[in-house]
Structure 1
Amino acid sequence: MPRSLARLRYKPPLQPISLASPTAASRVTPQHVAHMQKQIAAYVERQSNPQHLRLQTVVNEKARRQATSQHVISPVKPYTLRDVVDPEGTAKHGEIIYIFRNTKSNQIIYSLQELLDNHHLEQLPFIGKHSKPPALRPDEWVPHCVLTFPTPSQGQNAFRKLREFRRLHETAWDKTNPEFKRMDKKTRVKKIMDQRANTSADLAEVLRIQEAHGAKTAEEQAEQEKKVSTFLDKRWEQIDALANAGLAKAKPTDNVKWLQGQIRSMDHKLKMKHHQNEADQKSIKAAKESLETRLGKLQYALRKTEQFKNLQEDLTKRAAPANELGAETKLYELKLQARTLQEALDNPDPTRSEADLELDREILAGHRAEITTLEQAFEAKAQLKNGNHYIARSVLPKALKTPPVKPYTLEGVSVRWADIQDALYAAGKWPAAIEHEPLEINKARGETLMLSAEEYEVEKQNEVGRIMDTLNLREGEYLEEKDGLKSSFDSSALKSGIAMSIPRDAFKSATL
């Protein structure tokens, strides 16, 4: 009975090789060269891809996670507004508000994400036929402007107010624009949908409200901090005086052991027969409570003083790197080097060996550890300078212990416009501290060399050839069979089991 083909084992895949090793050339096969050439060509295309020319504003539906048993290759990270506004990716959720505009109707969508999704259409109310798009079209939604705030809470507050103001423009138009009543329905719907000018006015009003609220909150917090500072100075002065008295032991009432002995003595007196009348019991209990109160205050002062001293020593030790000359410059350079190394590791150069990449990972880990140490040192230095640490504030009462909320400020708030002429819709209403900047979406377009398809293929092949030369993977140098190098299909290392006894042309006439 003939053997079943299902019992035959498949040929194992090619073993990965290190092209940087000196003996790699003796183990390289044409299959390895073809595979590497494909990888290098993909790398060259990735490096030459003009991704900064194609700004993505809408989520790619094809990149979504598919149902079970369906696999989709993850696409390359798109070039979005976040890469323009926050290239380092350090902004927290809520610090940036992205505003998009419909090119046909001038409808406005506010988003805390750099890409629009279908759920963002829920912001738009239905006010007439064709007033609400059924789906997002990438060719219709373009960036209008981007707002940057110093804190996430301030950005989220502005985001909420902007959406409320726009909803009033769209649903309460009879109160804000009574002349709309005299228009026909189609014209009125178009006028209501056009929120381009209203957006500038709303932005100016929201920022003005935040400026006034921030000034009022800052005054209240300054007054509260003054109370906290006065209380802390007075309270720590009392604690220091009591702790010094406890250490000096000039009086019996400043001695912890003496107070503990007196309390034990009061316990014995309470049990004596001749002290069982009501007056003696009341007098002894009052004396005992007085001694316990004094002992508690003394122990509390000694404990807090010791904790404060230990924390000050710890902060001094941790702040030592921040006190060195050029510490701030060193921290900036380390962050810059770490970002460069991370970018190189995210898109590795095929001419570099795995050992070099591993060395870069070790260097990156070292840089990140130094960055963390320096950041903690600067934080400890600040706490040591102003005394605003948890031990110092632990003596505050509950009413003053709650940390104050950071007041809104327009310092650091910027508005970047795709068309800076839109800022003129609210001319004279913008707060003086607001910075208006152009949104440089097409900045990289002038720095990119545009090639025709033929020129691009020529340059691509030249670059692939250069990398292949660097790796010594030219096929004609040592990969021909006349030089004694056999094909990987003839290698005995790739045959095992039944494959050793099967001739090469055993299934030449087989059909599937």
Structure 2
Amino acid sequence: MPVQLKPPTRNIYAYCNIQTQQVIYSLQPSLHNASVRRQLPDTGANTSFVKLRKDLWHPLWTLAIPESDYADAQGLHTFKKLREWRKLHEISWEPPADLARPYTKREIEAMAKKLEDRGGSKKENVYDIIRREKRKMRVNTVLNQRANSVADLAAVLVEQEAMGHDTAEQNETGTAAKLDAERGNMLKLAAEAQAGGLEKLDTRIAALEELKAKADRLGEVGTSRTRISKQLHDANIKRMKMQTSVDAVARAKEMLAQPQLDRLAALKARIEAAEERIQAYEELPDLARLASESAEVEGSQAHLQVRADELKKLLKKKGTTNSQELDLELETLRTRQKELRKARWTLETIAKIEQGALNDLQKEIQEIEVLESEIKDANGREAGNLLRREALRTAGYDPDRGDTLRLQRAELEAVEQEYALLSNASIELAAAKAELEIAQAEGATEGTPSSESAASSSEEAARPAKPETDEAQIRELLPGFPAPKSDSPNLPKRGRLRTMIDRQKRPVFSTEGITIKWSNVLDAELAEQWPGNVEHAPMGIVRHTAPPADKAAVLDMATRSARIVERATERKERGRAGREREEKVKLVVLEKVREAMEARKLKLEAREMSRTGPMNASTPAIKEDMASM
């Protein structure tokens, strides 16, 4: 038997009878005879339907509730309320005004004349006809629920909106109170655990388990055994809560200390970055070392030159045994000479920078550029030659002087930039180290107890003060105890805990995103008030079956035809897939039957062999061979 899946209950469909204006509700787009007959009232003979006629029932409206945690519960609540209120309308109604209106003498005479013209009647008179007409009016009043259905839907949605607000507020208030109480209990249990509460509980649990094992071993029954089990359960629950409280308080303290840890990590990262920058600049000419050795540069160069000359003389002598060592020393001296030359050049560059050489170079470069532009702008070769001669005659003009000065300026700017970057890195390193010391001092002040001597308190006062971890801050970060499962066998059937769980399970209704589709949008005006979040839309082109509530409406015949073809194709594909699946099942069943028959045949042969003996075991085979011959 195939598994019947529970259909979603968040969509509701209302149908209206085009003759009697009766209304029935359904959770599925299509109607069924049994469900319709159960909903219709029995108003007497010739008013009840024996069989459903789909040509008389037309979709009135469809309600679509968006998917959420409580959508199905809200749909069931709406369906239940609509059916209950419709039943209330059917059994409790006010008589119409025409029902209490007396017939006039002229109307009675007209009805009597009509009856007489028809040939009269021996069973009824005019007053019997009046009585029958009033009965029809009462029946029609009971059956006509079109306007009531629209008003009931609006009233249910307004009521659900108010219920949702109240339930959400109550749940929030109850959750806040519960969380506050649990946080206070967690702080108490954490303090108790620090005082050795966990060890005491472990000892008590071990003793209770030993008592329970002894009672089970001796077969004792009665209140003492039950009391031991209850005490053991309560002790285990308390230990679990205490351990949870300790872990939660520790996590809260870590969260409060996390900003300080992040600050320390950031400071350390800044220090490492500054050290890396300084180390990178140390690979360039060591400006600080060169500045300290500036007085020794000239003497070092002279000493190295003397030593190099001596080594050259030694190498020229014949029979020298340590020529390789001398070569190495000479190479080392040459490298050192290069370093000293570079250092001297760097020191001279720094001195030039300090003396304002860049400004002088810039002025000279500007003068040369002006002169070059004048030479280029001169018209004619003669004017250009005259200007060149004048430039050569005055202050020794060199055509390559401008490029040389520009290169020198670029070198000076590069050295100045490197020196500035190195100075900034050193300043950053010093500032980061100072901030790190301050932050470490602040962290050290956090763990100091309040009951110290006057000398230690004065030392702490000299350090940068950091606010101690407040109990209120820890309390705000505690999550509370985990919620108990509603299907736990240890939960009581009544009491505060059961009330809390039932309150948490209450659905929170909402009218946000609800869509109502109408076969006639003007029917929505039959209700006095609608919630503001409800959206009204046309149902589109329909016949006797309402379209799915959560799909777009079909507003033109082309789209409707395309959907009909699509649904027919889907049904055809489902039918083909069902037939293929049925064929596969048949093949599997036939294979199982064949295997069962083979097994039964082997079993019968074994039984026959055990009965007749081994001499007659081959008799069936011999008979088969003879038959084949």
Larger Rg: 2
Structure holding more helix per residue: 2
**What is the TM-score with the length of structure 2 in the denominator?**
0.35
**What is the TM-score with the length of structure 1 in the denominator?**
0.42
